[in-house]
């Protein structure tokens, strides 16, 4: 099998993206043939766009799945057992897992018995040491799977593949977008990351709160009439940049509003940058110094004022190579899908 045509389906929290790749036998032999994305669209619309294009027929399908729990730490063939497993993880990634399941179901209906592979964002962080994965909770909860998983793994993996693991001895990768996280890597392997048990934890994001004092949640439950559903809506959809600004989760809009004198927008941007700067310093301590800082994701790649504000105050770390790299999750999905099918 010299080349395999792989359809990549990436159903995120706010966007559906599909791409078609021709994948050769060696890493780096992935050739993009076509891509399509739209905010607010579903996989059915993406497949309609694929059918309307004059393209080779896919021979396999790869899916980005955000949460693999403790079970799925490598790419896995899709079958009924896997779908049941993914449904059991919906509560851990309520913005993402349902979209991935819907994508798998849509492509199964459209392409019948074509082999499909699930590629997990959590898998890249399977290398973090136990002391980074453990939360300060009773041991039984660890045994029940309550731990730090980490996310954005396919994006981080694509950055490592692009730059080379040897170049990333002591590095922090900052994936900044509507969902945002940082990852400390040594020799290209994850050793710590900001997102934890779910994609809600870590730094401030577009609509997600990031880390909170757990007492805040206890207070909201006990004193303010919140239940689990209301808390979930608060911390995943109503907080972050949107909650701070009262207007928008879009960094472009916030930067424009700040320039026009909006104090709340200015505060939202300032808090976003401050939490990232703090975390970079923390990871420099974990790594014993810092050689490379990589920005990726929509904000990381395109918002130069945000990058500049994050870097201001980090001069004490000494000379650091600062890079901007475009993440390519689809290319990693295509490679993982082809490799699994060729080696099964």
User: What are 16's two structure tokens?
Assistant: 């559906």
Residue 260: DSSP 8-state: T
CA-based max dimension of the chain = 63
Upper half-sphere CA count for residue 126 (Cβ side, 13 Å): 16
- Catalytic residue numbers read 121
pLDDT value for 344: 86
First to last CA, the chain: 13
Q: 9: helix, coil or strand?
A: strand
What b-and-e string marks burial along 175-214, b requiring 16 or more CB atoms within 10 Å of the CB? bbbbbbbbbbbbebbbbbbbbbbbbbbbbbbbbbbbeeee
Q: Give the CA distances from residue 9 to residues 25, 35, 72, 144, 203, in Å, rounded to whole numbers and listed in that order.
A: 21, 10, 18, 30, 27
Q: Which of 12, 28, 112, 55 is nearest to 338 (CA)?
A: 28
- The stretches of the chain forming alpha helices (DSSP H) are 43-52, 80-87, 97-111, 130-133, 139-143, 153-163, 214-223, 228-237, 240-245, 251-259, 263-287, 297-302, 304-311, 329-343
**Distance between CA atoms of 51 and 44, rounded to whole angstroms?**
11
CB distance 206 to 178 below 8 Å: yes
pLDDT value for 94: 85
Q: Which of 31, 42, 28 is nearest to 4 (CA)?
A: 31
Q: Which of 127, 120, 106 is nearest to 155 (CA)?
A: 120
Q: Give the CA distances from residue 29 to residues 5, 49, 151, 275, in Å, rounded to whole numbers and listed in that order.
A: 12, 25, 26, 38
* pLDDT by 10s per residue, the chain, length 344: 589 999 999 987 667 899 999 999 998 899 999 999 987 778 888 899 999 998 999 999 999 999 999 999 999 999 999 999 999 999 888 888 999 999 999 999 999 889 999 999 999 999 999 999 999 999 999 999 999 999 999 999 999 999 999 999 999 999 999 999 999 999 999 999 999 999 999 999 999 999 999 999 999 999 999 999 999 999 999 999 999 999 999 999 999 999 999 999 999 999 999 999 999 999 999 999 999 999 999 999 999 999 999 999 999 999 999 999 999 999 999 999 999 999 98
**Distance between CA atoms of 175 and 203, rounded to whole angstroms?**
11
pLDDT value for 214: 97
> In order of start, what are the domains of the chain with their CATH numbers?
4-144+335-343 (3.30.420.40), 165-324 (3.30.420.40)
CB distance 66 to 93 below 8 Å: yes
For 198: left if phi > 0, alpha if psi spans -120 to 50, otherwise beta; the answer is beta
CB distance 163 to 323 below 8 Å: yes
Rg (CA), the chain: 20
Whole-model pTM above 0.85? yes
């Amino acid at each position: 099998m010299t080349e395999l045509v792989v359809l990549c389906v990436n159903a995120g929290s706010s966007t559906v993206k599909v791409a078609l790749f021709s994948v050769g036998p060696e890493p780096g032999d992935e050739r993009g043939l076509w891509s399509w994305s739209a905010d607010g669209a579903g996989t059915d619309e993406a497949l309609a766009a694929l059918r309307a294009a004059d393209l080779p027929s896919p021979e396999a399908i790869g899916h980005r799945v955000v949460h693999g729990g403790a079970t799925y730490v490598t790419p896995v063939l899709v079958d009924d057992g896997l779908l049941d497993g993914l449904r059991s993880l919906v509560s851990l990634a309520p913005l993402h897992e349902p979209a991935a399941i819907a994508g798998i179901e849509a492509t199964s209906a459209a392409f019948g018995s074509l082999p499909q592979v699930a590629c997990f964002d959590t898998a890249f962080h399977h290398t973090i040491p136990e002391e980074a994965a453990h939360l300060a909770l009773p041991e039984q909860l660890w045994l029940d799977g309550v731990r730090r998983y980490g996310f954005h793994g396919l994006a981080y993996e694509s950055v490592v593949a692009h730059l080379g693991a040897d170049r990333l001895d002591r590095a922090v990768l900052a994936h900044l977008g509507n969902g945002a996280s940082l990852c400390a890597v040594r020799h290209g392997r994850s050793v710590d990351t900001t997102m934890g048990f779910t994609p809600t934890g870590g730094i401030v994001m577009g609509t997600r709160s990031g880390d909170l004092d757990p007492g805040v949640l206890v207070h909201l439950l006990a004193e303010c009439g919140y239940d689990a559903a209301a808390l979930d809506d608060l911390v995943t959809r109503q907080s972050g940049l949107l909650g701070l600004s009262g207007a928008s989760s879009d960094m472009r809009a916030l930067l424009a509003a700040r320039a026009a004198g909006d104090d709340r927008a200015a505060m939202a941007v300032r808090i976003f940058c401050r939490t990232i700067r703090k975390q970079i310093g923390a990871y420099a301590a974990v790594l014993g110094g810092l050689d490379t800082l990589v920005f990726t994701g929509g904000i990381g790649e395109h918002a130069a004022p945000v990058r500049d504000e994050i870097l201001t105050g980090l001069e004490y770390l000494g000379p650091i190579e600062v890079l901007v790299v475009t993440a390519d999750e689809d290319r990693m999905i295509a490679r993982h899908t082809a490799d699994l099918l060729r080696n099964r």
